[in-house]
Amino acid sequence: MALALPSSSWVRHAAAQRPVVVLSSSGGARSPPGTCPPWKPCSLSWASSLADSSVSSAATRLVRSTRPVLPLVLDPQIGLVRAAWTRRSRSESTKRANRKSWKQRTDMYMRPFLLNVFFSRRFIRAKVMHRGTCKVIAVVSTNAKDLRNTLLSLTDVDACRTVGRLIAERSKEADVFALAYEPRKDERVEGKLGIVIDTIKENDIIFVQ
């Protein structure tokens, strides 16, 4: 397969001074048998056989690719193949990557044990989890067998106080004396949730802000 050069005068003049380059089946470039031995190519790439003009990678893809592409425009004054290119704007290049704040990076170590309370229409569940290892330290649910048969109601105020007292006792058994609670969006620490947290505080558990 021979290289098809554009019909510009400067390209024809350059092609007349240089030998024609033949592309092999493997995609490499070698000179015709009359100019250089077949086992010793004159150049490493077919671009060096052209006149002193720089050829971009887009022209290389055009010769090696079999798919139809848009015609490339050669500038005789510059000798370069003009191709579309993009770059990052100054604001994007100077913008720093998204990094976590100091609190986000150290919160897992400053407040390692997190309290989670879930209220359902049928039961109440609370658990203490370690942030680093996601290990559950203590868990209490009014739907468990030991509480379901002893409590009159599984969702009333007495059930909230029982859950808070048991969570505090089981946390101290695991040598955990400080907890943290992160309220959800638009959540207020009041009502049944406030009763559970106040009961935990009454049983010598410290809440870290």
* pLDDT classification of 8: cutoffs 50, 70, 90: low
Looking at per-residue confidence, does 86 or 60 come out higher?
86
Residue range 145-159: average pLDDT? 93
Does residue 150 carry a pLDDT above 50? yes
The whole-angstrom separation of Cα 17 and Cα 11 is 10
Average pLDDT over residues 31-41: 52
Q: What is the mean pLDDT of residues 91-120?
A: 84
Distance CA 166, CA 92 (A): 54
pLDDT digits (tens, 9 = 90+) for 115-130: 999 999 999 999 999 9
Q: How far apart are CA 115 and CA 139, in angstroms?
A: 10
Alpha-carbon gap, residue 191 to 194, rounded angstroms = 5
For residue 52, what are its two tokens?
């002193």
> Which amino acid is it at 131?
R
Range(s) within the chain of domains with CATH label 3.30.420.80: 103-207
Split at pLDDT 50, 70, 90, the class of 206 is very high
Full-model pTM = 0.52
Give the distance, in angstroms, between the CA of residue 174 and the centroid of all CA atoms in the same chain. Answer: 36
Task: List residues bridging with 206 in a β-sheet.
Answer: 178
Kindly indicate the confidence band of residue 85, based on its pLDDT and cuts at 50, 70 and 90: low
pLDDT of residue 105: 87
Residue type for position 189 = V
Question: 196 pLDDT exceeds 70?
Answer: yes
Query: 87 versus 39: which is more confidently predicted?
Result: 87
State the average pLDDT over residues 33-42.
52
First to last CA, the chain: 75
Q: Is residue 201 scored above 50 in pLDDT?
A: yes
Residue whose C-alpha is closest to residue 10's, from 82, 83, 74, 81: 74
Burial class (CB in 10 A: 0-12, 13-18, 19+), 203: middle
Q: Predicted confidence band at 103 (pLDDT cuts at 50, 70, 90)?
A: confident
The amino acid sitting at 95 is K
pLDDT of residue 55: 47
In Å, how far are 1, 8, 20 from 109, measured between CA atoms?
A: 67, 71, 70
The mean of the pLDDT values for the chain is 74
Which CATH architecture does the domain made up of 103-207 adopt? 2-Layer Sandwich (3.30)
